[in-house]
Amino acid sequence: QVQLVESGGGLVQAGGSLRLSCAASGSIFSINGMGWYRQAPGKQRELVATITNGGSTNYADSVKVRFTISRDNAKNMVYLQTNSLKPEDTAVYYCHAYNNVRGYWGQGTQVTVSS
């Protein structure tokens, strides 16, 4: 089992920044990759960014250049630096991790961007 706990969400004005954090615990050795997803009201959950154990990253087109995913393996942490935030970035942001068997989700952290 893998447990994920997100933090760092909040209310920010358009153009602002937030740094989201995800703390992983449990069977961390089994994790192959981690990432961030988001879900806005009335919309499906969508991929924001992923990072593999080797450090390869992938981003949704809508956040490229503005968001940066990183991980600190020594601390079992994954981060999402969000810059130049837009009202359309408003959503619950979820941390995700996967191994060879299944994926795991955190409880989510709310990001609200005011115009």
Model confidence at 29, pLDDT cuts 50, 70, 90, reads: confident
Which strand ranges, in their side-by-side order, compose the sheet holding 18-26?
2-7, 18-26, 77-82, 67-72
H or E stretch at 77: strand 77-82
- The answer to whether 26 and 99 are in contact (CB under 8 A) is no
pLDDT > 90? residue 107: yes
pLDDT > 90? residue 27: no
The pLDDT, as a whole number, for residue 21 is: 98
Two structure tokens written together for 51: 């990072």
